[in-house]
Amino acid sequence: MRHITGMKHFLLAITFMTIILSPFRCPHWDTSRWLQNTGDVAEIVLPCVVTVIVLVKNDFPILPYWITAGMATILSVNFLKYTLPWKRPNGGKHSFPSGHTATAFVSAFFLWLRYGPRHGIPALLLASFVGYSRIYSHSHYLHDVLAGVFIGLFCAGTTEYVYSKWRSLFHGNRRNVPTKEEGGKKVL
């Protein structure tokens, strides 16, 4: 029961931050742009939420891997955007892949892989909303958004894999060490 309550609070906090901050992206309240603006804000809120969760949980050894996942995502997206000169549905440049979607999904997948479904499910729902908002606003095609999802998954998965290999190489396999809730000491 505590697990469900915590997930509800997490989802409520993310939703509240996104809805509250979205009007500041648009000086005039324009309902036709609300969805796009909310997606833009959510793309920024998700990485901030990941950083706050890492810091609150005192999971400092994972911080360089989170930064690496984010940087790998940004570099991959920008390399593809400026290598492939595809036009956006609204006529703009640099359509493929969706950077908003990639950033949102690397955050969501990182939360899922590191902290499980309690944090991962709400983050994936919000990341999906970001992808939908990019298609709805005619900023990207479906394949741009799907490529962003893949890049986010790949970067988060690769950094988690490297972290687990590093941890097992230098610290042995500590996945079976009891956590604080089970009465033991939390290690890496």
**What secondary structure, in 3-state letters, does the chain show?**
CHHHHHHHHHHHHHHHHHHHHHHHHCCCCCHHHHHHHHHHHHHHHHHHHHHHHHHHCCCHHHHHHHHHHHHHHHHHHHHHHHHCCCCCCCCCCCCCCCHHHHHHHHHHHHHHHHHCHHHHHHHHHHHHHHHHHHHHCCCCCHHHHHHHHHHHHHHHHHHHHHHHHHHHHHHCCCCCCCCHHHCCCCCC
Note whether residue 114 is domain-resident: yes
The number of distinct structural domains making up the chain is 1
Q: What is the pLDDT of residue 180?
A: 46
- From the list 7, 113, 114, 9, the residue with the least C-alpha distance to 54 is 114
- Residue 8 inside a domain? The answer is yes
Task: Tell me whether residue 50 is in a domain.
Answer: yes
> How many angstroms separate the CA atoms of 164 and 173, rounded?
9
Of 28-42, 116-130, 160-174, the one with minimum mean pLDDT is 28-42
Tell me which residue range forms the domain holding 89: 2-172
Any domain includes 17: yes
Tell me the two tokens of residue 84: 């492939």
Structure confidence at residue 163 (pLDDT): 83
> In the prediction, which pLDDT does 106 show?
92
* pLDDT at residue 176 tops 50: no
- pLDDT higher at 20 or 125: 125
What average pLDDT does the chain have? 75
- Is 77 inside any structural domain? yes
28 Rama sector, left if φ>0, alpha if ψ -120 to 50, beta otherwise: beta
Q: Give tens-digit pLDDT for 42-92.
A: 778 888 888 888 888 887 878 888 888 888 998 998 898 888 888 887 777
Whether 185 is in a domain gets the answer: no
Residue 182 domain flag = no
Answering whether pTM is above 0.85, one says no
* pLDDT grade for 9, boundaries at 50, 70 and 90: low
What gap in Å lies between CA 91 and CA 111, rounded to an integer?
Answer: 34
Contacts of 87 (CB under 8 A, 6+ apart): 93, 95
**Tokens linked to 171:** 């610290």
* Residue 180 domain-assigned (yes or no): no
- The yes-or-no verdict on residue 183 having pLDDT over 60 is no
**What is the pLDDT confidence band of residue 184, given thresholds at 50, 70 and 90?**
very low
How would you label 86-118 residue by residue, b for 16+ Cβ within 10 Å and e otherwise? bebeeeeebbbbbbbbbbbbbbbbbbbbbbeee
Quote the pLDDT of residue 171: 64
